Structures are given as structure tokens and as C-alpha cells.
Chains A and B, each alone.
Chain A
């Protein structure tokens, strides 16, 4: 089925470890996004990519980096994980008809 695929679904990291969250979409959308969702905080935009080759900071970019590898793939990297980065991370893609979200990555940093 067409959509947004995120990997992994679950991850536990130790403080200071690094990891990359992967995201791929097969809908030929230009725009892709990374959000984090925390209880009581709603969705907060981390980074976005309006089109292949461009990336921009969102509301909460500190501690993260992104790569728009090609039109399909948009990865999120945590270079040195901190407990404050414990969250559920969602990737999304869009054209004008609204967003399509992945199923999320639940990350715990201990």
C-alpha cells in the first residue's frame, strides 16, 4: 500500500548514543517533515524539507540533524541522545491535499 514507512518502530538508547531514524514515502510528494509528539505538547515540528535538496529548521531542531537523501527518503539523526529526546517521532509527507503520516518511532533514552 502507498504511504510513509518509518523504521524502527521502537528503540531504546543510552545517553550519548547516536542513531538515525529512517523515513521513506512512495507517493512522489515533494515535501517531507519530522515531528515529535510528547504528552500534553501536541505535535512539534523538528525539521522539514520543502523539496529534494532543501531542508529547514522547524520549531525544535536542537540536538537533531536531517538528510533529504532523495525525493523518497528523509532521515533524522540524533548525534548524542539525551533523555529529553524520549518521545514518539513521526515522519510525514505532503502535497496540497494534506499530510500522510508514518506509524511512528517510539524512542526511549535512558
Chain B
């Protein structure tokens, strides 16, 4: 069935460092890919999405490109801030196995130090 694998955390960075959180997926069909962010004590929020191969999703300085050839959707940010400290979830939906339901990765916790 459809699945999402993302790098284990926690990831600890200093302010202004470059961020990469790796995400790979397994799915049949043509899924859409998402990144969600969860700040402490809150629900998940949609950060960005891409609906087809080679699409780039972007929001708040974060970017991710849908790479069908490597089945990846890595999250990047050029310069992180303390306020980016959160848990980040990679997700997919629309594969033949999961259908409209969203399949979430396990989450990667990011700590950014001042």
C-alpha cells in the first residue's frame, strides 16, 4: 500500500542555517504530496503541496519539489528561524491504494537555536 518515510529527528540547527528534511514515498497512481507543520500545543497546518511531478510547492520560505523519478518530496528552507521550531509531517493522498485519504509520515521534530 501507499506509504511515506521521512527522516527521523530531532533535527537541531542554529538560526540562519539551511534546512533539509528528507521525505520519500511509495504509491501507485498519481498522488498529491503535502508538508504539514505542527507547532507546540496546536493541530497540524498545511504548509505546502504539489499535485504533479516536477511541481514545486512553496510557502513562508519553505520549498519542496515533487520528484517522481526518485519518489521524493524533500522540504528545504534557506535560513531557519527560532519560530520554525515545530514538527513537520510529509504526507500523500490520491494514490490508488489510499484513495482520497491522506497517508502521513511519522513526523520530524525541528529545534532551532538562537
Q: How far is the CA of A42 from the CA of B4 in the complex (A)?
A: 12
- B49 and A99 contacting across the interface, CB-CB below 8 Å: no
The answer to whether B14 has its CB under 8 Å from any CB of chain A is no
Chain A at the B interface: SS class: strand
Q: Which of A11-19, A60-68, A75-83, A100-108 contacts B (4 or more CB under 8 A)?
A: A100-108
Chain B at the A interface: SS class: strand
- B34 and A103 contacting across the interface, CB-CB below 8 Å: no
The answer to whether B44 has its CB under 8 Å from any CB of chain A is yes
Residues of B within 8 Å of A31, CB to CB, are 100
Q: How far is the CA of A37 from the CA of B104 in the complex (A)?
A: 12
The answer to whether B102 has its CB under 8 Å from any CB of chain A is yes
Residues of B within 8 Å of A99, CB to CB, are 36, 44, 46, 102
Q: A97-B49, A98-B49, A99-B36 are in contact. Are A50 and B43 (CB under 8 A)?
A: no
Q: A48-B101, A94-B102 are in contact. Are A100 and B107 (CB under 8 A)?
A: no
- A90 and B105 contacting across the interface, CB-CB below 8 Å: no
A96 to chain B minimum Cβ distance, whole angstroms, is 8
A89 to chain B minimum Cβ distance, whole angstroms, is 10
- A42 and B49 contacting across the interface, CB-CB below 8 Å: no
A48 to chain B minimum Cβ distance, whole angstroms, is 6
- B100 and A50 contacting across the interface, CB-CB below 8 Å: yes
